[in-house]
C-alpha cells in the first residue's frame, strides 16, 4: 500500500523546471498539503535517482574496491580518497560558489565605500554613484539567490556521502565472518551508522570555511596594508593575532573536552537508568527506590555541571562574536589617532564593514569547520576500520576447474582450517586437519564426537566463516543454517520464521507443523502475529528452538546445516521434531546434523566421527560398529536417555 502510494508521488525535481529547483518552489506544494491535511508517512516523496542508496553505494563501492586492491598489493587503503573521487568535483564546485559569495560580500563593502565617498563630497559624479547603487543591489540579490541553494546542495552532498558509506557498511555487515562479529559490538555498529555518520551531513558546509576564512582574512590584511598606515595595519593584525586566533584555538580545545565529558556523563546516567528499568521489579520488592534515586540524582548533578559549563562556553562565544569587530575597530581608531593619521570616514566605514564581513568566517565558521571536520574525519576512519574487518572466507569454495558430480553436494579434499584463537571470544577452537569426505544429495549426515572435537568448525568451514589453510572445499547449491543457540529478534512469530522472505501460506503451514509449533502458536495471545523477542512476549527455551529451526527450514535450500538443535531440549520435544521435520519434511533434502545423541545416529545415511579436528571414522552406523568403533566414542553424552524413534 505504502509503496504503491509513494510511486504515485514522484519527486518534483524530476518534472519541475530548473528555476523551480533553484528557488526550491517544489516545497510549497508539500507545505500547502501539510497545512490543510497534515503530513503522514504516505505523503513522503520518492527518492531522487541520484540519491538512491543503490546508486550511491555502487559508485563508492567501485572506488573502495580500488583502495582494497591497493591494500592487497602492499599499499594503505584510504576511504577519504574513495569519497574524494566520488564527490570531489561536486564538493569543489560548492566551495567555489561559497568563494563567489564571499567575493560578492567584499565587493559590497567597496561599493558602499564609494557611495559614502559620494555623499561626503569626495566624488561629484552622480551617474557613477547611481551605477554603484545599482551594482550594490545586484550584489545583494546575487548573494540572496546563492545562499539557500548553496547551503541545500552542500547538505545534500553530505547526505549522499552518509548514505553511500552506511550502505557500504550494511553490505559489509552481511559478509562479516564469525570472528569479526564476535569481536565487534552491535551497539558500536548501530551508533556508527545511525549517529556518527550524521557528522558527514553537518560538516560539509562548515569545512569550506577552514580555507575560506584565512583567505578572507588575507584579503583584509592586504587592504589594510596598502590603504592605511603601517602602524594601523600592525595594530589590526596584533588584535587579530592576540584576541582572535589564540582564543579560537583555546575555545575549540575546551569545547571538545567539555563535549566529551558531557557525553560520558550522559552515557553513564543513561546506562544506570536502563539497568534500573530492567531490574525495576527487584528494586520494588526490596524497597531500594530511595537508594537508586540518590544514585541517579548524583549522576544527574554531575552531568548538569558539565552542561552548565557548556552553556557558559556558548554564551561567552556568542558575546565574543558580537564584540570582536568592535575591539578591532577600537584598536584601529586608537592607532590612527596616535599616529595623527586623518580619520577618513570612508576608510573607517570600509574597514569596519570588512571586519564585519569576515566576523562570521573567523569567529564562528572556522571553529565549527575545525570541530565538524575533525569529527567527520574520525567517523570516516571508524567506517574505514569497519570496512577492513575480516569477511567470510570465500576461497574455500575453490573448485580448481573441477565440477562436482550431480549426486555430490560437498567435497572435502585434504582440507585444513584454523579458526580464531580462543582469546578472541569465539565458541569453537579446534582446528580442522586434512579432511577428506563427500556429502551426497538427499542424504542425512550426522556428525558426532566429544565436545571441542571440531564439529561446529566443520559447519563454519562449509559456511565460509573460517579461513582455509590448505586443500579444497567444493560445494554447490544454497545452504540454510541453524545455530546451536536459538535466537529470535523483536518481531512477530511469523516474521521470525519468514526472516524477510515472502509469505506462502501452504509452505508456511507445513513448516509450522513439521517443527511442532501449532500448539505453541495457538497458546500465544495473538497467534503467530504475537510480538516476541527482548521487548515482546517471553517464550520458553524449547519454543525458541522450534522457531529458530522453522526459520531454517522455511528457506528452501539445497542443504540444511543443523548444529545440535536438540541438545538443550527434553527428549520428547527432540524426538517429535526429529521425526516430523528431519525424517518427514526434509526427508528428500540434504541434511547435515551435529549431535551427541545416539538414536539420531542410527537412522543416518552417513556418520562422521570427529576427534581433535580429524575425522577418525565415517560410514553408516552399522558399518562403524562392525569396524569396532565404540558407540560411546560416537555419542559421549551421559545426559541422554534413549527414546523410541
Judged by average pLDDT, the poorest of 169-173, 336-340, 347-351, 577-581 is: 336-340
CA–CA distances in Å: residue 421 to residues 178, 433, 454, 470: 12, 16, 14, 18
Q: Name the phi and psi angles at 8, rounded to 5.
A: -90, 0
Q: Exposed/middle/buried for 352, CB within 10 Å: 0-12, 13-18, 19+? A: middle
* 7: pLDDT strictly greater than 90: no
CA distance 555 to 214: 61
Counting every residue, how long is the chain? 645
613, 432 in Cβ contact below 8 A? yes
HEC readout, 548-575: HHHHHHHCCCCEEEEECCCCCCCHHHHH
Give the C-alpha separation, 536 to 491, whole Å. Answer: 8
Helices H, strands E: what count in the chain?
25, 11
| pLDDT greater at residue 250 or residue 150 | 150
Under the banding of pLDDT at 50, 70 and 90, the label for residue 424 is very low
The top-scoring range by mean pLDDT among 84-88, 331-335, 415-419 is 84-88
* Mean pLDDT value across residues 254-269: 83
Q: What is the mean pLDDT of the chain?
A: 81
Question: Domains in the chain, start-ordered, CATH in brackets?
Answer: 12-46 (no CATH), 52-205+374-389 (no CATH), 408-634 (3.40.50.300)
pLDDT of amino acid 484: 84
Question: Buried (b) or exposed (e) across 623-638, using 16+ Cβ within 10 A?
Answer: ebeeeebeeeebbeee
Q: What is the pLDDT of residues 39-72, one digit of tens each?
A: 777 777 778 888 888 899 899 999 999 998 888 8
pLDDT-derived band at 4 (thresholds 50, 70, 90) equals very low
Place of cell 555541571: 305
Q: What values do phi and psi take at 409, rounded to 5?
A: -100, -35
Q: What is residue 399's predicted lDDT score, i.e. its pLDDT?
A: 45
Q: Are 450 and 613 in contact (CB under 8 A)?
A: no
| Mean pLDDT computed over 308-322 | 79
Among 580, 542, 587, 541, CA closest to 560: 587
Mean pLDDT of 312-340: 73
Q: What is the largest CA-CA distance in the chain?
A: 120
Whole-number Å distance between alpha carbons of 287 and 265: 27
- pLDDT at position 287 is 87
Highest averaged pLDDT of the listed ranges 181-190, 242-251, 377-386: 377-386
Beta bridge partners of 480: 560
Q: By percentage, how much of the chain surpasses pLDDT 70? A: 86
pLDDT of residue 309: 87
Q: Which three cell numbers stand for residue 150?
A: 548553496
The rounded distance, in Å, linking the Cα atoms of 150 and 284 is: 56
Residue 360: pLDDT band (50, 70, 90) is confident
Greatest mean pLDDT range, 23-27, 429-433, 439-443? 439-443
Q: Is the pLDDT of residue 134 over 90?
A: yes
Determine the angle formed by the axes of helices 126-173 and 53-72, rounding to 10 degrees: 70
> Does 331 have pLDDT greater than 60?
yes
pLDDT at 431: 78
Burial of 275 (0-12, 13-18, 19+ CB in 10 A): exposed
Digit-coded pLDDT (tens) for 515-529: 889 888 999 889 999
Mean pLDDT, residues 76-97 taken together: 91
Quote the pLDDT of residue 548: 92
As a whole number of angstroms, the distance between CA 21 and CA 11 comes to 11
pLDDT on residue 238: 64
Characterise 533 by phi-psi region: left (phi > 0), alpha (psi -120 to 50), beta (else): left
> Grid coordinates in use for 309?
559549563
- Contact call for residues 167 and 173 (beta carbons, < 8 A): no
User: Can you tell me whether residue 485 is helix, strand or coil?
Assistant: coil
Looking at the whole model, is its pTM more than 0.75?
no
Amino acid at each position: 500500500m505504502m509503496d504503491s502510494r509513494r510511486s504515485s508521488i514522484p519527486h518534483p525535481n524530476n518534472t519541475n523546471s530548473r528555476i523551480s529547483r533553484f528557488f526550491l518552489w517544489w516545497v510549497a506544494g508539500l507545505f500547502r498539503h501539510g497545512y490543510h491535511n497534515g503530513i503522514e508517512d504516505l505523503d513522503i516523496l520518492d527518492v531522487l535517482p541520484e540519491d538512491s542508496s543503490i546508486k550511491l553505494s555502487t559508485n563508492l563501492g567501485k572506488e573502495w574496491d580500488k583502495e582494497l586492491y591497493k591494500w592487497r598489493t602492499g599499499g594503505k587503503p584510504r576511504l577519504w580518497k574513495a569519497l574524494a573521487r566520488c564527490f570531489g568535483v561536486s564538493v569543489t564546485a560548492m566551495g567555489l560558489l561559497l568563494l563567489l559569495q564571499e567575493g560578492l560580500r567584499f565587493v559590497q563593502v567597496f561599493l558602499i565605500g564609494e557611495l559614502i565617498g559620494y555623499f561626503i563630497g569626495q566624488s561629484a559624479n552622480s551617474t557613477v554613484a547611481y551605477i554603484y547603487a545599482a551594482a550594490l543591489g545586484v550584489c545583494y540579490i546575487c548573494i540572496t539567490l546563492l545562499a539557500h541553494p548553496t547551503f541545500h546542495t552542500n547538505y545534500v552532498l553530505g547526505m549522499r556521502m552518509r548514505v553511500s558509506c552506511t550502505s557500504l557498511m550494511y553490505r559489509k555487515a552481511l559478509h562479516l565472518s564469525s570472528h569479526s562479529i564476535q569481536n565487534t559490538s552491535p551497539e558500536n555498529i548501530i551508533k556508527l551508522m545511525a549517529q556518527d555518520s550524521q557528522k558527514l551531513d553537518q560538516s560539509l558546509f562548515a569545512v569550506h570555511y577552514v580555507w575560506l576564512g584565512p583567505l578572507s582574512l588575507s584579503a583584509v590584511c592586504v587592504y589594510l596594508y596598502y590603504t592605511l598606515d603601517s602602524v594601523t595595519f600592525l595594530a589590526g593584525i596584533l588584535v587579530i593575532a592576540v584576541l582572535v586566533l589564540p582564543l579560537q584555538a583555546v575555545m575549540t580545545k575546551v569545547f571538545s573536552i567539555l563535549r566529551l565529558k558531557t557525553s560520558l556523563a550522559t552515557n553513564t546516567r543513561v546506562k544506570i537508568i536502563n539497568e534500573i528499568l530492567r531490574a525495576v521489579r527487584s528494586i520494588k520488592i526490596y524497597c531500594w527506590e530511595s537508594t537508586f534515586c540518590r544514585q541517579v540524582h548524583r549522576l544527574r548533578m554531575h552531568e548538569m555541571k558539565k552542561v552548565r559549563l557548556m552553556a557558559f562556553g556558548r554564551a561567552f562565544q556568542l558575546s565574543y562574536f558580537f564584540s570582536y569587530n568592535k575591539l578591532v575597530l577600537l584598536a584601529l581608531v586608537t592607532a590612527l589617532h596616535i599616529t595623527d593619521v586623518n580619520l577618513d570616514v570612508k576608510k573607517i566605514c570600509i574597514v569596519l564593514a570588512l571586519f564585519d564581513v569576515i566576523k562570521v568566517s573567523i569567529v564562528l565558521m572556522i571553529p565549527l569547520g575545525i570541530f565538524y571536520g575533525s569529527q567527520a574525519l574520525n567517523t570516516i576512519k571508524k567506517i574505514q576500520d569497519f570496512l577492513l574487518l575480516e569477511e567470510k572466507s570465500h576461497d574455500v569454495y575453490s573448485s580448481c576447474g573441477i565440477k562436482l558430480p550431480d549426486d555430490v553436494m560437498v567435497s572435502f579434499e585434504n582440507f585444513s582450517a584454523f579458526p580464531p584463537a580462543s582469546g578472541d571470544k569465539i565458541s569453537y577452537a579446534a582446528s580442522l586437519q586434512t579432511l577428506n569426505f563427500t556429502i551426497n544429495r538427499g542424504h542425512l549426515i550426522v556428525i558426532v564426537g566429544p565436545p571441542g572435537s571440531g564439529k561446529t568448525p566443520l559447519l563454519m568451514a562449509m559456511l565460509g566463516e573460517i579461513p582455509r589453510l590448505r586443500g579444497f572445499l567444493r560445494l554447490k547449491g544454497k545452504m540454510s543454517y541453524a545455530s546451536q543457540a536459538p535466537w529470535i529478534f523483536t518481531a512477530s512469530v511469523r516474521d521470525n520464521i519468514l526472516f524477510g522472505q515472502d509469505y506462502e501460506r501452504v509452505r508456511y503451514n507445513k513448516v509450522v507443523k513439521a517443527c511442532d509449533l501449532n500448539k505453541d502458536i495457538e497458546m500465544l495471545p495473538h497467534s503467530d502475529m504475537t510480538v516476541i523477542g527482548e521487548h515482546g512476549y517471553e517464550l520458553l527455551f524449547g519454543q525458541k528452538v522450534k522457531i529458530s529451526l522453522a526459520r531454517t527450514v522455511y528457506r528452501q535450500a539445497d542443504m540444511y546445516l543443523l548444529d545440535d538443535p536438540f541438545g538443550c531440549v527434553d527428549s520428547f520435544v527432540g524426538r517429535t521434531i526429529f521425526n516430523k521435520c528431519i525424517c518427514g519434511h526434509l526427508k528428500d533434502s540434504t541434511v547435515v546434523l551435529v549431535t551427541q545423541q545416539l538414536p539420531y545416529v542410527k537412522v543416518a545415511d552417513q556418520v562422521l566421527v570427529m576427534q581433535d579436528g580429524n575425522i577418525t571414522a565415517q560410514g553408516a552406523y552399522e558399518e562403524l560398529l562392525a569396524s569396532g568403533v565404540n558407540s560411546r566414542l560416537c555419542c559421549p553424552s551421559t545426559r541422554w536417555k534413549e527414546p523410541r524413534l
